[in-house]
Structure 1
Amino acid sequence: MPNAFQPTDCLKDYYRTWIAVYKEGAIREVTLAKYRMSLAWVERLAPSLRLCELTRVAYQQLLNAYALEHERQTTMDFHHQLKGAILDAVDDGLIPRDPTRKVIIKGKLPAEKKRKYLNQFELHALLRSLKLGERADWDWFILLVAKTGLRFSEALALTPADFDFAHQTLSVTKTWNYKDGGGFAPTKNRSSVRKVQLDWQLIMQFATLVKDLPKDQPIFVPEEKVYNSTVNDRLERYCRALNIPVISVHGLRHTHASILLYAGVSIASVARRLGHASMTTTQKTYLHVIQELENQDIDLVMRSLANLR
């Protein structure tokens, strides 16, 4: 790209080309969409900012303008997505010095977050209320996700052949591309390919449910297009009827992980079961649970020490 641009060219044009050259075809579509969103904000906030004008002050002003409408973490993400292109422009000699050095990340105060998971008693109430018939439907889907912690697209892609009833395991090797017309697709990452251990009750239920279904066809995908809103709407109706927090299907995944952590399952085991690329992802996602468990551990340590004579 060094010969394609001059220091007098606009940042937005350089960033657009940089995304096309370095990101398209190299990252997942959902991640690419985030870069394109960042580009849209650069076009909106700094439509005429030239590369040669991108000083530390100008870059900080761009971040500050973005931060006026976004929370701090979102501003941090915007900074990281833009920084890669800017550092390449520095290497190309289009910008004399790194303008991203020592930036200050600002942002709006986070809105009060709704609880995204159920506690054990609420989950029991939800599962007891499901109407589990003889055919695979969304109620069976809700039960499966609640007991396995699978992602929505992973659960959609399951076929009867993925169940190992003898060893009580479920193989997760693919996803269902429900956003782009259907069809099997790769998992989110290599760590997402895994075997999930199932409880004996769920094994018996699904052995009966799928025995007459085609072995290599998705269990839950209907003939029409699949929308996660369909399952979320059904789940919401159950939650409201039971007067428990309204969660999404992804909230069932959070519920599954939270219950395991509260039960004393190690972070490493939970990370493997969820298909996280690293334990760091699990720790960040479930920090609230981990902190609460640490507080309980402190109380336990203090009580144990107090009993020593």
Structure 2
Amino acid sequence: MKPPKTKRSMRTISIDDTLVTELKKYQTWQKRNKLKYGANYIEQEYMITQANGKALSEFRINDIMKTITNKAKLHHISPHGLRHTHAIMLLESGADIKFVSDRLGHTNIKMTADVYLHITKKYESENITKLDRYLSN
């Protein structure tokens, strides 16, 4: 695995209870594998690993995601694509841009705005509606 691009890449983010539950199930699976592989289990600092504990390469992660999306008959999306989707969904749901910027590890809000705000038509539409309401009062 490659080291993070910047110091801000290493950060703690909030996650919802559903993801916490799924991660706990995954940890249980890892513990079973650790017992199964014994001394051959490779201890890692990564959450997502192969059954024997070995870290997944970025290429292997993409292969796994391609398999999953093919089985589900969905378009393939890369891990980085999921990051973009997450950011857009946050913004479209009304999340504050400062929150999104911090969550993504951007150095400033301008970077987040430049990359994401022009993408979301819903955001544009909602803001035009806000302006219309303001002008109507």
**For this pair of structures, how many residues does the alignment match?**
124
Whole-angstrom CA distance in 2 between matches of 1:196 and 1:215: 24
Are 2:17 and 1:200 equivalent residues in the alignment? yes
Please give the alpha-carbon distance, in whole angstroms, between the structure 2 residues aligned to 1:217 and 1:190.
17
2:86 partner amino acid: H
Which has the larger share of strand? 1
Unaligned runs of 5+ in 1: 1-175, 178-184
Secondary structure at the counterpart of residue 59 of structure 2: helix
Q: Aligned residue for 2:102?
A: 272
Shift of 1:250: 1.0
Query: Aligned residue for 1:221?
Result: 49
Shift of 1:292: 4.5
Q: Secondary structure at the match of 1:251?
A: helix
Distance 1:255 1:245 in 2: 13
Residue 232 of structure 1: how far off its partner (Å): 1.9
**C-alpha contact (below 8 Å) 1:236/1:246 kept by paired residues:** yes
In the TM superposition, residue 242 of structure 1 has moved relative to its aligned partner by 4.0
- Alpha-carbon distance in 2 for matches of 1:248, 1:302: 38
The structure with the larger Rg is 1
- Change in Cα spacing, 1:225 to 1:200, as seen in structure 2 (3 Å) is closer
**Alpha-carbon distance, 1:278 to partner:** 2.0
Q: Percent identity?
A: 27
In 1, the alpha carbon distance for the partners of 2:11 and 2:78 equals: 23
Task: Give the equivalent residue in structure 2 for 1:88.
Answer: none
* Structure 1 residues 226 and 285, CA gap change in structure 2 (3 angstroms): same
- CA contact 2:88–2:120 (8 Å) conserved in 1: no
Distance 1:282-1:199 versus aligned 2 partners, 3 A rule: same
**What TM-score, normalized by structure 1, do the two folds share?**
0.34
Q: Over aligned residue pairs, what C-alpha RMSD do you find?
A: 3.0
Q: 1:289 aligns with which of 111, 114, 119?
A: 119
Distance 1:200 1:239, change over 3 A: same
